[in-house]
Amino acid sequence: MSQWVRLCSIREAPEEGKAMQVTTANGVDVCLARLDGELRALDNWCPHRRGPLGEGWVEGGAIVCPWHAWAFDLKTGVAHPPERASVEALALKTEGDDLLVDLA
């Protein structure tokens, strides 16, 4: 079942090739990035040592963790080899000027 929560306004979303950390009204941290014109959302916390992925950078279709540079595919959340890990990829939708994320 879906649980859509407002993330931010469309105007606040990152530019192409950038990422940011956004906290929902109910306190969930999300890594929001724009890649190839599409907004993508992942769980913000790196499974390695809980680095903040939203403070990382976009490279090669992935978000790179700012702490030890593990990279997670922005579409799937799966880590690039050799790491074996993943973060949850979250669905997004727009509603008027708002960007909503599915936290279900």
Of the residues 22, 35, 65, 74, which one makes contact with ligand FES according to CB under 6 A: 65
The owner of tokens 């992942």 is 42
Per-residue binding letters, 17-56, with ligand FES (x by CB under 6 A): -----------------------------x-xx-x-----
Residues forming a β-bridge with 43 = 30
* Of the candidates 75, 69, 70, the residue with the CA atom closest to the CA atom of residue 88: 75
Site membership for ligand FES, residue 93 (CB under 6 A): no
Residues contacting ligand FES: total by CB under 6 A: 8
Burial of 8-42, coded b for 16+ CB within 10 Å and e otherwise, reads beeeebbeeeebbebeeeeebebbbbbbeeebbbb
Per-residue binding letters, 69-88, with ligand FES (x by CB under 6 A): -x------------------
What is the C-alpha to C-alpha distance for residues 103 and 18, in angstroms, rounded to an integer?
A: 22
Site membership for ligand FES, residue 57 (CB under 6 A): no
7 or 65: CB nearest ligand FES: 65
